[in-house]
């Protein structure tokens, strides 16, 4: 492995491959993205995409959601993991924000809302086209970043900190790019031969 990888250069093929690719959650606006991001924690994007149309038909915006009760929401999200807490969080979020036009788009304000941690907030900001204030670290990134050798450990916050220190802010979309790579190529059983990062990947180079 090279003595020290210049990640600002090395990450470019990955950023190019997934540039501007929309998150797999099939949302239509920022309100929908917040609701779907909260629901998708520990559940699959595919599952949330399936139930979203009926949910948003019933609650098309923050104002409608603010009038709901968790019990009413359970009819729509009862199959979602941890739906009890998520239903409460969504109603609290809507009652706090009140209108779609008042949705906050800073990391600090988003993470003050119930059910939204740094990863969720980073996803919401990215999808809203807001400036990156952090780097998305999901389950895929937790697998991909240490394999590449760009970060170490298993703690999402520590990995995010390492990535933010290693890459300039203009490249902070690397988190989402690594997530896409983890979904498609760098699976638990990785397809290293077709990976755009195999020239610099510590895992691949060590296996040769």
C-beta separation of 38 from 116 below 8 A: yes
| Rounded Cα gap, residues 12 and 95, in angstroms | 42
CA distances (Å), origin 58, targets 43, 97, 99, 114, 138:
22, 18, 16, 22, 30
| Rounded Cα gap, residues 8 and 108, in angstroms | 27
Domains in the chain with CATH codes: 7-20+135-207 (1.10.1670.10), 30-128 (1.10.340.30)
- The pTM of the whole model exceeds 0.75: yes
Would you give per-residue pLDDT tens digits along the chain (208 residues)?
445 899 999 999 999 999 989 999 999 999 999 999 999 999 999 999 999 999 999 999 999 999 999 999 999 999 999 999 999 999 999 999 999 999 999 999 999 999 999 999 999 999 999 999 999 999 999 999 999 999 999 999 999 999 999 999 999 999 999 999 999 999 999 999 999 999 999 999 999 8
């Amino acid at each position: 492995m090279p003595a020290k990888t210049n990640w600002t250069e090395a990450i470019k093929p990955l950023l190019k491959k997934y540039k501007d690719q929309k998150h797999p959650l099939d949302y239509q606006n920022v309100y929908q993205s917040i609701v779907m991001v909260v629901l998708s924690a520990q559940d699959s994007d595919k599952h949330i995409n399936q139930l979203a149309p009926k949910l948003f038909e019933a609650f098309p915006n923050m104002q409608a959601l603010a009038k709901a009760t968790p019990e009413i929401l359970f009819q729509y999200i009862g199959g979602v993991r941890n739906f009890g807490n998520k239903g409460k969080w969504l109603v609290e979020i809507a009652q706090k924000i009140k209108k779609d036009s008042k949705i906050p788009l800073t990391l600090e304000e988003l993470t003050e809302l119930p059910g939204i941690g740094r990863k969720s907030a980073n996803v919401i900001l990215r999808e809203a086209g807001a400036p990156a204030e952090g780097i998305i670290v999901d389950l895929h990134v937790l697998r991909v970043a240490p394999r590449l050798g760009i970060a170490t450990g298993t703690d999402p916050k520590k990995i995010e900190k390492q990535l933010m220190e290693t890459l300039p802010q203009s490249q902070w979309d690397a988190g989402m790019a690594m997530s896409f790579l983890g979904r498609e190529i760098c699976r638990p059983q990785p397809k290293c031969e077709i990976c755009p990062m195999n020239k610099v990947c510590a895992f691949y180079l060590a296996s040769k």
